[in-house]
Amino acid sequence: MSEKFHNILEINNIYASYSASLHKLEYVLKDLSLTMKPGECLGLVGKSGSGKTTLANLITGFIKPISGKILFRGQEVQDLSLRQRIRQFNCGIQMVFQDPYSSFNPKMTIGKQLMEPLLIRKSLSESEIETKARHMLEQVGLSADYFLRYPHQLSGGQLQRVALGCALIVEPCLLIADEPVSSLDVSVQAQVLDLIIDLRKEFKFSCLFISHDLAVIYHLCDTIAVLNQGSIVEQGNVEKVFRNPQNLYTKQLISDAGYSFSK
Amino acid sequence: MRFKRKDKNNQISFAPDVQRAYYRASSINKGAKIQFRIGFVLLAIPLVLFLINIFYRPYDTTSMNMSERFVTPDSKHWFGTDNYGRDIFTRVMSGLPLTIIISIGINLIGCSSGLLIGALSGYYGGTVDYWGNRISDALLSIPAILMGMLFVATFGNGIWQVIVALGIMFIPSYMRVIRSGFLEYRQRNFVKRLQLLGASSGRIIWRHLFPQIRTRLMSAIALGFANAILAESSLSFLGLGVPPSQITWGRMLKDAQGFLFQAPWSAIAPGLMIVTLVLGSFFISNGLKQISQQRSLA
């Protein structure tokens, strides 16, 4: 596989719709373009219904675009099915979801769920997999006691830590975090965000962080893309965009948030 | 305060509603426990009778004694005798194994086929689901009695004919239970996560989705067991069931039909046994259903 690419992710003029009929298309994403550099943490911000999760589903391959191009590590993937993408990039994209409770099989222990990604790949022996899973549990800041616990015995913040572990155990090059802290209380939010920062330093993955909370984006991301009614209206360095927003919608979003930003 | 918990950093937080619901649901409530107890006691009655029958059988089940026709229940014949002078208590005791075998056979066919069609329909959705539903609709449109008649007319009277005919008729009920469970759980994020990791559909269905609907399926099996006994009895009652040489409670009811007013006890004993077994299965099914519903709250 060629490793010559400038952007880990490049989306060009994408259109997406959930309409069943081709005659009456209502676009969720319209002429959307976006780029992400390797190792970058891009914050995707927008109001509810602006198409943030749809974009995540497009990138992962759960849905296909109507037109446009998606380049992942320099290769066109928009026409590939989810299975083809996995075969080609070997778990290149992983996702952390908003609701930590529905992200886990309720009948399986945390340890087994951490081992599952590696068991699916069949690249290591079971004892090696268990060692790696236990190590990952430590890396996400949970003690070995949690290995034999069930998801309902963990809090939302702890589950989100395990979800990060499950995603990172296969060493993806892109992690999509779809509002991973929005269902957590503020103190736990900060812990999970700090963990993401630490893990990024360690695993060196690119991160597409979806949120509607500007403070979270400011705290975590290098760049920001503002999504409004299915289109990216502004993209750039977080500091620059927050200090000097160019687009009217971005200005309104920042003023509505009412925060004073300083790194 | 019960749902207050401390996380790793000793910070107190309240578990969200979902988690609270899980705690509420994970303890089996009193009603379900009572239903289980009643169900087990009712099921134990025919089972004890069957165990007694293995070690002690007071009379032969088939030999006739015309001098003792229609004897009313007494100390010698506890449930009386039938039109051939056969002891009804002995026949009721020995009728259980075949009734159970037929019920198990019917449910085995219905459950395995229903599981396959329901799981594929629920997991894949779309065209697979459409055709799965059409198969189910087609089967639901055929009355069980008609299917029984079709099998008897084609293959003759016999245990296997009854099992296959009724087994096919049981597929839709199982299919619907399993399909609805799969439809509910395939939307969960953990399935999406597994798909992103490259897990095969078989692995997701068998290892991750099937355990979620196991309690629901157990409840459906317990209810299916009761329905199979009733269906077999109905077929036997119409003369479409097992041949006269075999003893099932349904067959005994059919034989008693001709002299119901002359010797009602010959119908009451097998009828009571059917009611006991059906009610027992029903109570257990209901208990399991309550647990399943409580767990699905989580």
Residue A20, domain member (yes or no)? yes
A176: confidence class by pLDDT, cuts 50, 70, 90: very high
Percentage of chain A beyond pLDDT 70 is: 95
Residue of A nearest to B19 (CA): A152
Please give the Cα distance from B52 to A40 (Å, whole number).
76
User: What's the pLDDT at B68?
Assistant: 85
Query: Residue A203 pLDDT > 60, yes or no?
Result: yes
Residue A230, domain member (yes or no)? yes
- Chain A residues whose CB is inside 8 A of the B298 CB are 106, 152
Please give the residue that has the higher pLDDT: either B29 or A262.
B29
Question: Is A104 an 8 Å CB contact of chain B?
Answer: yes
Residue A129, domain member (yes or no)? no
Residue B233's alpha-carbon distances to A113, A214, B102, B272, in angstroms, are: 47, 69, 10, 12
Cβ of A86 within 8 Å of Cβ of B198? The answer is yes
Per the structure, the count of domains in chain A is 1
Question: Is B8 an 8 Å CB contact of chain A?
Answer: yes
pLDDT in tens, A38-53: 989 999 998 888 899 9
Pairs across A and B, CB distance < 8 A: 86
User: What's the pLDDT at A1?
Assistant: 44
Sheet holding A223-228, edge to edge: A93-96, A174-178, A206-211, A41-45, A223-228, A231-237
Task: Decide if B273 contacts B95 (C-beta within 8 A).
Answer: yes
Please give the residue that has the higher pLDDT: either B65 or A164.
A164
Residue A10's alpha-carbon distances to A7, A17, A37, A93, B221, in angstroms, are: 6, 19, 9, 14, 52
User: What's the pLDDT at A2?
Assistant: 46
User: What's the pLDDT at A3?
Assistant: 57
User: What's the pLDDT at B3?
Assistant: 45
pLDDT in tens, A117-161: 999 988 889 999 999 999 999 999 999 999 999 999 999 999 999
Residue A172, domain member (yes or no)? no
- pTM of the predicted protein model: 0.79
**Among B7, B215, B292, which would you mutate to test the A interface (most chain A Cβ atoms within 10 Å of its Cβ)?**
B7
Q: Please state the ipTM of this predicted complex.
A: 0.89
Residue A36, domain member (yes or no)? yes
User: What's the pLDDT at B2?
Assistant: 44
User: What's the pLDDT at B174?
Assistant: 95
Residue A153, domain member (yes or no)? no
Identify which of A217, A229, A218, A230 has the alpha carbon closest to the alpha carbon of residue A179.
A217
Cβ of B192 within 8 Å of Cβ of A62? The answer is yes
Question: Is A7 an 8 Å CB contact of chain B?
Answer: no
3-state secondary structure of A232: strand
In the block, tokens 């939302």 appear at A156
Structure tokens at A37: 């550099």
Task: Decide if B273 contacts B90 (C-beta within 8 A).
Answer: no
Cβ of B192 within 8 Å of Cβ of A95? The answer is yes
CA B51 from centroid of its chain's CA atoms: 21
Question: Is A191 an 8 Å CB contact of chain B?
Answer: yes
Question: Is A122 an 8 Å CB contact of chain B?
Answer: no
User: What's the pLDDT at A91?
Assistant: 64
In angstroms, the first-to-last Cα distance of chain A is: 39
Residue A109, domain member (yes or no)? no
* HSE-CB for B262 with a 13 A CA cutoff: 11
Q: Return all residues near B185 (Cβ < 8 A) that are at least 6 apart.
A: B191, B209, B212, B213
User: What's the pLDDT at B1?
Assistant: 38
Question: Is B208 an 8 Å CB contact of chain A?
Answer: yes
B8: nearest CB among A93, A107, A158: A158
What CATH number is attached to the domain comprising A72?
3.40.50.300
Question: Is B37 an 8 Å CB contact of chain A?
Answer: no
Angle, to 10 degrees, between the axis of helix B126-140 and the axis of helix B159-185? 140
Cβ of A170 within 8 Å of Cβ of B22? The answer is no
**Among A98, A114, A139, A155, which would you mutate to test the B interface (most chain B Cβ atoms within 10 Å of its Cβ)?**
A155
Neighbours of B264 (CB within 10 A): 14
The pLDDT averaged over each successive group of 10 residues in chain B (298 residues) is 51 52 58 86 89 85 84 88 89 87 94 96 94 94 86 85 92 95 93 92 94 89 86 83 82 85 90 90 84 63
Residue A225, domain member (yes or no)? yes
Cβ of B8 within 8 Å of Cβ of A188? The answer is no
Q: Which domain holds residue A235?
A: 1-92+208-257
User: What's the pLDDT at A260?
Assistant: 59
Within 115-144 of B, beta carbons closer than 8 Å to A belong to none
